[in-house]
Amino acid sequence: MRAPATLESLGLLRLHHIGIAVADLDAAIDRAGGVVEVRAELPDQGVVAAAVRVGASELEFVTPLGESPAIRRFLERRGDGLHHLAWEVADVGDTLARAAAAGLRLIDTEPRTGLHGVPIAFLHPSAAGGVLTELVQQTPAHT
Ligand code: CO
């Protein structure tokens, strides 16, 4: 029997941002204050997202893009609230491979490009105690 994978054994380095689903992106940004670092439509994820720096940390607000069901279903069931935790890793592809080898359920089998223009990928909530988990490739700007 293989050893169970721990989050640390996957190479998770530190929290990169906290993802929050919201029905009204502008209202959420206004409530947060802080600096909007980037705001963009992410068609492959079916969301519009905005990264807002508050103190030393980053919140990422996500809202449905057009008729996309992705976040819409979440909002209909649960309303605004915590959606995912994003962890910085040295190499998203490498972490995905480790997670797959450990038998963890993945949402993405290959990295894709995230809000900050760097590789990201999602692990299924069952891989991390019921929390949707995003991997974000570490960049020099964040170290
Ligand atoms: Co995110």
Single-letter code of the amino acid located at 43: P
Residue 101 CA, ligand 1 centroid: distance in Å: 24
Residue 2 CA, ligand 1 centroid: distance in Å: 30
Confidence of residue 143 (pLDDT cuts 50, 70, 90): very low
Residue recorded with tokens 């169970």: 4
Residue 69 CA, ligand 1 centroid: distance in Å: 17
Mean pLDDT of the chain: 92
- pTM for the whole structure: 0.91
Whether residue 8 has pLDDT greater than 60: yes
CA atoms within 13 A on the CB side of 53: 8
Residue 102 CA, ligand 1 centroid: distance in Å: 23
Q: What pLDDT sits at residue 2?
A: 58
What is the C-alpha to C-alpha distance for residues 29 and 87, in angstroms, rounded to an integer? 22
Contacts of 54 (CB under 8 A, 6+ apart): 32, 33, 34
Per residue in 67-89, pLDDT (tens digit) is 888 899 999 999 999 999 999 99
| Structure token digits, residue 92 | 């998203």
Whether residue 140 has pLDDT greater than 80: no
Percent over 90 (pLDDT), the chain: 83
Residue 131 CA, ligand 1 centroid: distance in Å: 12
Residue 90 CA, ligand 1 centroid: distance in Å: 16
Closest CA to 23 of 77, 67, 79: 79
Residue 1 CA, ligand 1 centroid: distance in Å: 33
Residues surrounding ion ligand 1 at CB below 5 Å = 19, 60, 86, 134
